[in-house]
A and B are shown apart, each in its own frame.
Chain A
Amino acid sequence: MTGPSGDILSAIGGVPRPPTDVVVDAREVVKRFGALIVLKGVSLEVRRAEVVVVIGPSGSGKTTFIRCINHLEKVQGGRIFVNGHLIGYREDGGKLVEDREANIARQRQEIGMVFQRFNLFPHMTALANIVEAPMRVRGVPVAEATEMGRALLARVGLAHKADSYPAQLSGGQQQRVAIARALAMKPALMLFDEPTSALDPEMIGEVLEVMKELAREGMTMIVVSHEMGFAREVADRVVMMDDGQIIEEGTPEHFFTSPSHERTQSFLSKIL
């Protein structure tokens, strides 16, 4: 078995500690695509070491919402703070102006993201994928970055795949490399955008194992996923989104035993 061997975060020198108790503070976030309003005032607070799982039907805005958190999407209203910093914008006389590109890039260094389609760099080996940003963005020396990269690969069970190109890896392996790549920047927060929905069923487990391990080690995480088993095991909170709004929030147990909203009940009945 090439599953994760415990203590993933020791590979990057321990759990990156967010400087503030509240890591994510999203307030009344509004997002429009033309006439379509995708987010209708979403507010969410995520505290240090908390694991929040976001569920909801497709088109409910959950993916768009986490993409706003690292400013892959602009917002038309509201504010998002990560580690106390306003993301993507600066306030200029009460108005929000999009921040300079370099500042946005700096903010993103603190926020790891894992994509549904992995998005590994196909022209680089697994190891090169991982060391690229630490070296080019953070200026970590080659030897140090390589050592960290190999350690990360070992912790996600892929030590033997360091020199493989993404196309030589299975979906589950690619996603584990993608998680290692995001962790290499020592982010204070990890965002997962449906990390297992592009995977064949037999590969979902290996990716979830890595994510569970991260959650146990105290990583702050927001996970868009319908994996309720994962939610039950490690989530501190589950958030149900529908039609651009958060309609229900609670512990995993609450969602399993007594979801109050009728839409939540019908949604859960379909995925459980």
Chain B
Amino acid sequence: MHPLSLLADSSGLQFQFDLPFFLKFVFQPTPALIGGLAITIYASIIAQAMGVVLGIFSALAGMARNRVFRTISQVYVWFFRGTPVLVQISLVYFGTPYLLGGLDLFPNHAVLGPIDLRGAVLAGTFALGVNEGAYMSEIVRAGIMSVDPGQTEAAKSLGMTYGLTMRRIVLPQALRVIIPPLGNEFNNMLKTTSLMSVIAVQELYGNALNVYSASFKPFEVFFGVALYYLLLTTIWSTIQGRIERRLGASTARVEEPRTMRRLFGLGGSGAAGGR
């Protein structure tokens, strides 16, 4: 007898896989689930973008001559890397309005065009972005430090100011070192947004939680939502791979343009054909 059918047919066993329910959950997603998917995606993108901007500023502050700037950057990184992001989300959403005398920082409804900017989404995204900035700070710092100091000297000697030197000369070169870990950070971010469910954001996982409490089909629901996350991270991996290949090609082009282009052309089609 087939082992699975044994499992499914024996009424005494706990494991009952409701295949139709599972397929419906995954392949005929409710509008609510689609909405949750949308929140997961845009919250990830906004929080990551915020993290990159904050990270650049924090890295520059951390490398500044001014001690005050350096201290601000150090404390920021220390606090947000040293505490759980779950706590930070709660702190921002529940804590800050309380601290500010009940000021409604995150109103329940602020619909901006097609985007449902509910207070909790706003607070959660903000918390994730600030948290991410602390990690990006270290990544950007490593990137900047990887650039030859001679580059800064050459820029200075041409009369370029600090800001211009950073923007035009140092940061573009630091990108080569920053991009790969940045891609990994975004992969993490896609999954970390699920923590926003703690402040009742109806993102992907929050939605799954609702479906679960209504259906009591934990395996179907959580495995189904896991597939959704897997889909997101897989798509992102493909995009990341492409970005990194382009980046690799552009730095390689500097050394051996034709050979590298030919190699990548061959490598690309070969890999596609092999799979």
Contact = CB atoms under 8 A, between A and B. Distances in A.
B172 A123 contact: yes
A67 B169 CA distance: 20
A105 B159 contact: yes
A121 to B, nearest CB: 6
Interface in A227-261: none
Interface string A53-97: 000000000000000001010000000000000000000000000
B160 A105 contact: yes
A168 B257 contact: yes
Question: Which of B150, B157, B160, B172 is most buried by chain A, counting CB atoms within 10 A of its CB?
Answer: B157
Contact of B254 (A102, A112, A115, A165): A165
B153 interface: yes
Nearest to B165: A105
A22 interface: no
A101 interface: yes
Contacts of A133: 155, 158-160
Contact of B157 (A113, A138, A166): A113
Given A117-B150, A119-B151, A70 B157 contact: yes
Contacts of B110: none
Interface string A127-141: 000001100111000
Contacts of B151: 119, 121
Interface string B124-158: 00000000000000000000000010110111111
A120 B150 CA distance: 9
Interface residues of B, number: 22
A138 B159 CA distance: 9
B164 interface: yes
B161 A101 contact: yes
A37 interface: no
B27 to A, nearest CB: 46
Interface in A97-112: 101-102, 105-106, 108-109, 111-112
A229 to B, nearest CB: 27
A115 B149 CA distance: 12
Interface of A: 70, 72, 101-102, 105-106, 108-109, 111-113, 115, 117, 119-123, 132-133, 136-138, 165-168, 178, 181-182, 185
A181 B164 CA distance: 17
A119 B159 contact: no
A133 B254 CA distance: 22
Chain A contact residues, majority secondary structure: mixed
Contacts of B159: 105-106, 108-109, 133, 137-138, 185
B96 interface: no
Interface string B150-188: 110111111111101000110011000000000000000
B160 A136 contact: yes
Given A137-B164, A168-B257, 7 more contacts: A109-B158, A109-B159, A119-B153, A120-B154, A133-B160, A137-B158, A137-B159
A72 B150 contact: no
Nearest to A191: B157
A241 B2 CA distance: 92
Contacts of A168: 254-255, 257
18 contacts: A72-B157, A105-B156, A108-B156, A108-B158, A113-B154, A115-B150, A115-B154, A115-B157, A117-B150, A121-B169, A132-B158, A132-B168, A133-B155, A137-B158, A137-B164, A168-B255, A168-B257, A185-B158
A121 B154 contact: yes
B246 interface: no
Contacts of A178: 154
Contacts of A182: 157-158
B149 to A, nearest CB: 9
B253 A165 contact: yes
A122 B255 CA distance: 10
Contacts of B164: 136-137
A121 B158 CA distance: 12
A102 B161 contact: yes
Contacts of A123: 172-173
A43 B101 CA distance: 66
B161 A181 contact: no
Contacts of B156: 70, 72, 105, 108
B174 to A, nearest CB: 11
Contact of B255 (A108, A119, A167): A167
A181 B254 contact: no
Contacts of B161: 101-102, 105
A70 B153 CA distance: 10
Nearest to A165: B254
A139 B90 CA distance: 49
A174 to B, nearest CB: 12
B132 to A, nearest CB: 26
B153 A115 contact: yes
